[in-house]
Amino acid sequence: MSNIVVVGAQWGDEGKGKIVDLLTESAHVVARYQGGHNAGHTVMIKNEKYVLHVIPSGVLHKGKTCIIGNGVVIDPKSLIEEIEGLKDRKIYVGKNLFISGGAHVIMPYHMLLDGKNEESKGPKKIGTTGRGIGPAYVDKMSRVGFRMLDLLDTNGFREKLKANLADVNFLLEKKYHSGKLRLEKIYSEYMKYAEYLSPFITDTVVLVNKFMESGKDVLFEGAQGTLLDIDHGTYPYVTSSNASVGGVCTGLGVSPKRIDGIVGVMKAYTTRVGGGPFPTELKDKLGEDIRLKGGEYGATTGRPRRCGWLDFVSLRHAIRINGFTSIALTKLDVLDDLDTIKICMSYTYEDPYKRCECSKKGIACKITDMPQDARVLELCGPVYKEFKGWKANTEGVKKLKDLPKQARAYIDFISEALNVEINIVSTGQRRDEVVIVKDPFKSNA
């Protein structure tokens, strides 16, 4: 028995969907532990593209159990559309899917407030997807949120909705000068969702622990990435949940003692969506070329991703936070045509407030640890190590020995410098375009 976590090591969009899909072959259960439908996991099976938002990627495999944990926030309408979309493509969704009764529900006013809040920030926008994720987590922490099990209590749901709308409508009218939301319309809509989703709702804490106790192999799947973690990311340019490994314990009710391996997923370069500091960002034609070749557009929103070189400062932070036991390196093939490839080894920083000894002496500070303050990170410059490109096609390569010498040298350097084994290398979009050095489930068995 092995229980493996897949975690994004960067700002999300690292290719976790493909890695989860790949590892699901060795798992019995796939469980999602945080986030909402603001994330999209893209899986290519042959020439078929599947984009999943809340349902675990394991649903694409027959005979696998899928769990949506209490740490996830759920838009019932979006989830039903996702289920129906899979069914239309002949993917079975039924007794293989379980939804936590403790998972919080995204309400129409959450999406409305999300958009209004972003608009009010002007040029200081965080870059949310507008899907209501943040406001739903706010209500969760304020203890006024709806949980999936609340959908099953028709009278209680109506009374609580009435109380919540009184506050929401006051805010909409007085702050945003917007019209009121109607109780009966929302109530009627959500009762229809309750009828559809009620067969899936259960106590998943009990369920997932029973699976582990019975010897089932469980794969824990998250959304976003470590640098978007609400506690350990580049705050305030972060998501609203714990996207790092700690989210498994709180988002599914799993003891840390149950976790046998932690696979960190990282691209061979770096991307991020939305606002926030990005020291290695390439704002030139090269950045655009990487975006185009890598298809760096959001699976959920279609927004173009900002692209840059690999960043060891941020990756060391991700390794420290998560304790990766191995790394899955994705999109190696995107770098095939480059003459030179760079890795950021450290930052330089000149403190405008002269608070550190370096700045007092008129010299730039060398930074090797990720700054907690996003304002400091905004002023950091990258210090690069250059590598000769391999200038050869790696797309579809399935054996490490078949990769170009310079590509193998690049992989080896990353592994040795970060002191973590790279056991999976993705060499293309499709499920079978991958080099597997070690299967995390088999190496932990």
DSSP 87-152: HHTT---STTEEEETTSEEPPHHHHHHHHHHHHHHGGG-----SSSHHHHHHHHHTT-PPBGGGGG
Give mean pLDDT in consecutive 10-residue pieces for the chain, a chain of 445 residues.
Answer: 94 92 93 88 78 90 96 97 95 96 96 79 66 92 96 95 94 86 96 98 98 96 95 95 97 97 98 94 96 86 91 98 97 97 95 70 84 93 97 96 97 98 95 92 70
Q: Tell me, what's the pLDDT at 241?
A: 95
Q: What is the pTM of this model?
A: 0.92
* CA distance linking residue 385 with residue 295, whole number of Å: 26
pLDDT of residue 161: 96
118 Cα distance to chain centroid: 21
Strand ranges inside 138-280, DSSP E? 201-202, 218-221, 261-267, 270-272
In terms of Cα–Cα distance, which of 32, 440, 24 is closest to 248? Answer: 32
Tokens representing 383 are 């210090």
341 near 384, Cβ under 8 Å? Answer: no
Please report which helix (H) or strand (E) contains residue 7, including its range: strand 3-8
Give SS3 for 403. Answer: coil
- Among 313, 330, 328, smallest CA distance to 421 is for 328
Q: How far apart are CA 296 and CA 282, in angstroms?
A: 13
Pairing type for strands 29-32 and 65-68 reads parallel
pLDDT of 190: 97
Nearest to 224 by CA among 251, 246, 244, 249: 244
AA letter at 438: K
Q: Which amino acid is at 355?
A: R
User: What's the pLDDT at 86?
Assistant: 94
Per-position b or e across 116-128, b if 16+ CB within 10 A of its CB: bbbeeeeeeeeeb
Catalytic residues: 13, 41
Dist CA 23 CA 177 (whole Å): 49
- Residue 66: the pLDDT is 97
156: CB partners within 8 A, 6+ apart? 150
